[in-house]
Amino acid sequence: MINVAVIGFGYWGPRVARNFQTSSDMHLSAICDQRPEALRIASRDYPEVTMLSDPQEALTSPDIDAVAIVTPVWTHFDFAKLALQNGKHIWVEKPFTLTSSQATELIELAEQKNLTIMVDHTFLFTGAVKKIRELIDNQTLGNLYYYDSTRVNLGLFQHDVNVLWDLAPHDLSIMDFLIREEPEAIAATGQNHLNGLEDMAYMTIFYPHKLIAHFSVNWLSPVKVRTTLVGGEKKMLVWNDLEADEKIRVYDKGVQISGSAGVYDLLVGYRSGDMWAPKVDQTEALKAEVLCFADSIANGTKPINDGAAGYRVVRLLEAATRSLKNRGSLVQL
């Protein structure tokens, strides 16, 4: 049984805590938050769990084996470092850290101490993402042409991070999981309108072999959209995460250029066949992720969302931020 402490009991912390609580491999030992109001709610829901107001205590206590750091991103590095130094496995909310060098330092520290780092890229554990990965891996889509993601709605304005750091970690972590190639360069544009932080942004990522990825994130949209297109040589898919049932639609559509019969006559073949919506596993992602955390700790294996995955997402966010400041100038990775 792994004793775990959850640090930060705001919006996401209670969900993480609940999943630790109901896991048969983990024991929720402590909940920590500096706000008395948060602790009062926590103690009502978990009367038998220790309540702490000082994170230091949770991060250093000998009774704790692992900590889940579910706090604002600017606290991640210090909390994570202290936890690792004290021999604790860590679960860190995304984005992993504020800088890629912080991420590297944590990864190295964990390596030395043989500890597990898990970055909470929850979407990797959804049935939809697992299914898309399967369709890519088994060559159903064929060679990939593009990845095009939109995540917009009238979103909660943050006071410390812009829309890129708030929303794009979801999509970058998914892309990183699905596309097993090294991105080459990134270009980002965006705009702030209200409080100095960008509330909408666009990002293009260039991959080798003519693969291109694009992201649109926006806190100022009147409608909610959560749609990703993945275009392949053989098939193309649309993932609409707002659909209750058919989240993924695979289209037997494509274009093939078979040569040219002269300057003006391209021999283009268009293909349009059936559409197919595969059944998607409905298991709660967070539950599967907690199981994976317990397994990784028990067996010393690396989870799919390990520190390196967290590092790769932060590196893209860093580069995108630099490009954004220069209105889209290309940043090599």
Would you say 270 or 299 has its CB closer to a copy of itself? Answer: 270
With CB under 8 A as the contact rule, the residue among 168, 187, 297, 314 that binds a copy of itself is: 187
With CB under 8 A as the contact rule, the residue among 12, 79, 125, 202 that binds a copy of itself is: 202
Burial class of residue 270, CB neighbours in 10 A (0-12, 13-18, 19+): exposed
Would you say 41 or 308 has its CB closer to a copy of itself? Answer: 41
H or E stretch at 190: strand 185-191
For 93-162, the DSSP string reads PSS--SSHHHHHHHHHHHHHHT--EEE--GGGGSHHHHHHHHHHHTTSS-SEEEEEEEEEEEPPPPSSS-
Distance in angstroms (rounded) separating the CA atoms of residues 120 and 76: 12
Rounded to a whole number of angstroms, the minimum distance from the CB of residue 154 to a copy of itself is 6
Rounded to a whole number of angstroms, the minimum distance from the CB of residue 283 to a copy of itself is 14
Distance in angstroms (rounded) separating the CA atoms of residues 205 and 216: 12
CA dihedral of 54, 51, 71, 152, whole degrees rounded to 10: -160
> Does 216 contact a copy of itself by CB under 8 A?
yes
**CB 125: neighbour CB atoms within 10 A?**
23
Rounded to a whole number of angstroms, the minimum distance from the CB of residue 53 to a copy of itself is 17
Distance in angstroms (rounded) separating the CA atoms of residues 148 and 224: 16
String of contacts with a copy of itself for each residue 278-307, x by CB under 8 A: xx----------------------------
Rounded to a whole number of angstroms, the minimum distance from the CB of residue 231 to a copy of itself is 5
> Does 160 contact a copy of itself by CB under 8 A?
yes
Binding residues (CB under 8 A) for a copy of itself: these are: 145-146, 148, 154, 156-157, 159-160, 185, 187, 189-195, 200, 202, 204, 206, 210-212, 214, 216, 218-224, 229, 231, 236-238, 244-246, 249, 251-253, 255-257, 260, 263-266, 268, 270, 272-279, 323, 326-330
